[in-house]
Amino acid sequence: MTTLSNDPVSALAHTNIALIKYWGKKDERLIIPYTSSLSLTLDQFYTETSVRFDQSLSADKVEIDGAAVSGKSWQRVHDFLTVVRQLAGINAAAEVISLNHVPIAAGLASSASAFAALAAAASKAAGLQLTSTDLSRLARRGSGSACRSIFGGFVEWQRGHDDTDSYAFPLQQTGLKDISVIALTVESKPKSISSREGMNRSVTTSPYYPTWVNVAQNDLVDIKLAIVTNDFTKFGTISELNAMRMHALTLSAAPDFMYFNSETLTAMNLVKRLRHQGIECYYTIDAGPNVKVICQQANKPQIVGAFTKLLGPKRVTTLQAGPGVQYL
């Protein structure tokens, strides 16, 4: 059995935005996806987590953003810590303290940064010394998208077949460097259908799901080419299309559901209008109503200006590519 130090280990991880979406699990327990995905790690929204294993604790203690956590959220962290304990061959309970750094009212806290930071802090606190690939595999067990937040910049998650080969890695060839992401806060209420439930319903009931598996694979090949050849137009076009193809799975599920609200549609239309005026930008949307606008530096002031006019300055945040997980 590993000898545990009682000192807490702290790690910090940023969230990421998927440009080729992960939407559907082949194995729900191990979180093995049907398709590979690709994301950009962002530089501003991050989670800082410290973990300490302690033989004298009777149960795992979890605090998020200053409040003790119970119920489903506690269970999810506890289950993840159990995976870490099994890997390390220990049985001590842990104290987890986590802080999300998200601009006020951005409503963009994410399980990606949370489980990436938790994987890094908990594995080290448990005495494990993991390679970044193994850390990515571990983070995946907490939340699929978290496996990509282990790395900075453009990151691909290869779907793999099982726990051993489903992990993320950073893209080596990235000709495309000038990318900005403008995060629009459309609404900060919790989402009605979690991504976990939404993707399960899409896989099991959308007649288009098998087509998605093929199309997403082609989108991934095409976007990687656009990144290597520094083709921003192709990059943005594929990102926007892929997001809409994912959302088509929600609209075609039974019962159907939708993550957009009326403000989402207004923002999407404004992106299209700006593009029509020669101000190049594209949108992508995850499992919620918030919109992220992808653009290049030269057009950023005009796009930020247009959305600030629409939503007010507090709901418009500009982001760049960010780094991978770090120990503090």
CB of 195 to ligand DP6, least distance (A): 4
Residues 156 and 189: their CA atoms lie apart, in Å, by 30
**Cα dist. 265→260, 261, 281 in Å?**
7, 7, 15
61-64 and 67-68 beta bridge pairing: antiparallel
Question: In terms of CB distance, is 52 or 201 closer to ligand DP6?
Answer: 201
Tokens representing residue 220 in the block: 């991934």
Q: Specify the stretch interacting with ligand DP6 by CB under 6 A; choose among 55-63, 142-150, 266-274, 304-312.
A: 142-150
Residue-wise DSSP of 32-44: EESS-EEEEEEEE
Tell the residue number behind the tokens 């130090």, with chain if given: 5
Question: In terms of CB distance, is 49 or 195 closer to ligand DP6?
Answer: 195
Query: Which residue among 78, 196, 234, 272 contacts ligand DP6 (CB under 6 A)?
Result: 196
Question: In terms of CB distance, is 93 or 222 closer to ligand DP6?
Answer: 222
Residues 325 and 15: their CA atoms lie apart, in Å, by 10
- Please provide residue 110's backbone torsions phi and psi, each rounded to the nearest 5 degrees: -140, 145
Q: Specify the stretch interacting with ligand DP6 by CB under 6 A; choose among 95-103, 141-149, 161-169, 314-322.
A: 141-149
Question: In terms of CB distance, is 18 or 182 closer to ligand DP6?
Answer: 18
Should residue 76 be labelled a site residue for ligand DP6 when binding is judged by CB under 6 A?
Answer: no
Query: Which residue among 8, 24, 107, 144 contacts ligand DP6 (CB under 6 A)?
Result: 144
Q: Which of residues 284-313 bind ligand DP6 (CB under 6 A)?
A: 286-287
CB of 7 to ligand DP6, least distance (A): 29
Count, residues in the chain: 328
Residue 255: CB atoms within 10 A of its CB come to 6
Question: In terms of CB distance, is 10 or 145 closer to ligand DP6?
Answer: 145
On whether the CB atoms of residues 264 and 307 are closer than 8 A, the answer is no
CB of 276 to ligand DP6, least distance (A): 27
Q: Which of residues 80-139 bind ligand DP6 (CB under 6 A)?
A: 111
Residue-wise DSSP of 57-121: -SS-EEEETTEE--HHHHHHHHHHHHHHHHHHT---EEEEEEEEE--TT-----HHHHHHHHHHH
Question: In terms of CB distance, is 18 or 203 closer to ligand DP6?
Answer: 18
Question: In terms of CB distance, is 143 or 166 closer to ligand DP6?
Answer: 143
**Cα dist. 239→132, 224, 259, 292, 294 in Å?**
27, 11, 17, 11, 9
CB of 12 to ligand DP6, least distance (A): 19
Residues 290 and 268: their CA atoms lie apart, in Å, by 10
Q: Which of residues 11-70 bind ligand DP6 (CB under 6 A)?
A: 18, 21-22, 31, 37
CB of 89 to ligand DP6, least distance (A): 26
Q: Which of residues 153-192 bind ligand DP6 (CB under 6 A)?
A: none
Query: Which residue among 143, 242, 250, 264 contacts ligand DP6 (CB under 6 A)?
Result: 143
CB of 191 to ligand DP6, least distance (A): 10
Residues 94 and 119: their CA atoms lie apart, in Å, by 13
The identity of residue 146, as a single letter, is A
Q: Specify the stretch interacting with ligand DP6 by CB under 6 A; choose among 140-148, 173-181, 216-224, 317-325.
A: 140-148
Should residue 195 be labelled a site residue for ligand DP6 when binding is judged by CB under 6 A?
Answer: yes
Question: In terms of CB distance, is 221 or 328 closer to ligand DP6?
Answer: 221
Tokens representing residue 67 in the block: 């409040």
Residues 103 and 321: their CA atoms lie apart, in Å, by 17
Tell me the number of residues near ligand DP6 by CB under 6 A. Answer: 13
Question: How far from the centroid of its chain's Cα atoms is residue 215's Cα?
Answer: 21
Residues that bind ligand DP6 in the complex, under the rule CB under 6 A: 18, 21-22, 31, 37, 111, 143-145, 195-196, 286-287
